[in-house]
Amino acid sequence: MSETLSRGPWRIGATIFVALLTVLSATPAVRATAPPTLPVAMGREFLDALSAGPISPGASGTLGFALSNPLPSSLTDVALTFEVYGFNGAPGTGSAALPTSAPSLSSGGASGPNVTLPIPLLGAHASGWSVPVTISVPSDAAQGTYTIRDSLSFDLNGSTYRLESVGYFAPALWEHATVLPNGTPTLNLTRLGVSGVLPETAVLVEDSAPLDTALYVLLGVAIVLGAAGGYVALRGKGPSSRSGRSSSPEESQADRTLGNKRSKAGD
């Protein structure tokens, strides 16, 4: 029994030691992969002018953007990635799983759900860098809004930085990192594990036929109303007098209303 009691503390001590060793060995790995952070407001200075106009099923469009370097030093090994990741069938219905037949992205190569644009060097304070990115929509794509997230990585002074848009974070993590316990908004980049947060965009996929029809109908109504207005305006002008002076509006109205002509002055 004494042997059993003597082994108890050793077992407990060994268990605690193994647990501490596991925690300590994991901590340096987490810190090594966590990128350095940038000023919170700087995220939007890197990526701006995101745009993607409505595209019909079976057609293609362009993803617009402008990449800049707000830092006073050049960035090397720059990589900018765009990815279609979410779908919303109608406003107010909430996000749904990405359909199998969804828009794809490409830039001078094969198309897919994501595209990475390698940039060897981005000079200090460079701005407006962009290349064509095509959004191709399958003919059988469901109509709705497809969200596009983005990420940016680069090397600076021996450190690797990484910025991501909100689409890369789980909703619970995002809420935990952007709202304090008292409800005050914040942005904890360390908790998110990124150097900064980028904006993101979306593309609306819808059939343009109903819209085109409506435009043609409105145009036709405008033409008809314009012609009717011109006709009324011309009818509103009475016959010119022989002396070269047009008759007054009252006289013109009286002629049409009575349905006869004056035979002489004073009638």
Summarised one tens digit per residue, pLDDT across range 146-162 is 999 999 999 999 999 99
Determine which of 46-60, 167-181, 227-241 has the lowest per-residue pLDDT on average: 227-241
Place of tokens 């219905």: 93
Residues 7 and 84 in one domain: no
Copy the structure tokens of residue 191.
Answer: 């908790």
Q: Is the dihedral of CA 36, 40, 41, 43 positive or negative?
A: positive
Domain's final residue, options 186, 207, 228: 207
Would 243 be classed as within a structural domain? no
What is the pLDDT, as a whole number, of residue 34?
A: 83
Give yes or no: residues 164 and 213 share one domain.
Answer: no
Provide the pLDDT for residue 158.
Answer: 94
Average pLDDT over residues 191-201: 97
Residue spans of beta strands (DSSP E) within the chain: 47-51, 60-67, 75-88, 104-106, 114-122, 133-136, 144-156, 159-165, 196-198, 201-205
Band (81; pLDDT cuts 50, 70, 90): very high
In a domain, 164, yes or no: yes
Query: Domain range spanning residue 21?
Result: 1-33
Considering its fold, how many domains does the chain have in total? 3
φ and ψ at 175, to 5 degrees?
Answer: -65, -40
Residue 93, domain member (yes or no): yes
DSSP class of residue 195 equals S
- Specify the DSSP element, H or E, that contains 254: helix 249-258
Which pLDDT score, from 0 to 100, does residue 77 have?
A: 96
Q: What is the mean pLDDT of residues 209-228?
A: 45
Other residues' Cβ atoms within 10 Å of the Cβ of residue 105: 21
Residues 6+ apart with CB under 8 A from 89: 96, 142, 143, 144
* Claim to verify: residue 162 and residue 135 sit in the same structural domain: yes
pTM of the model: 0.68
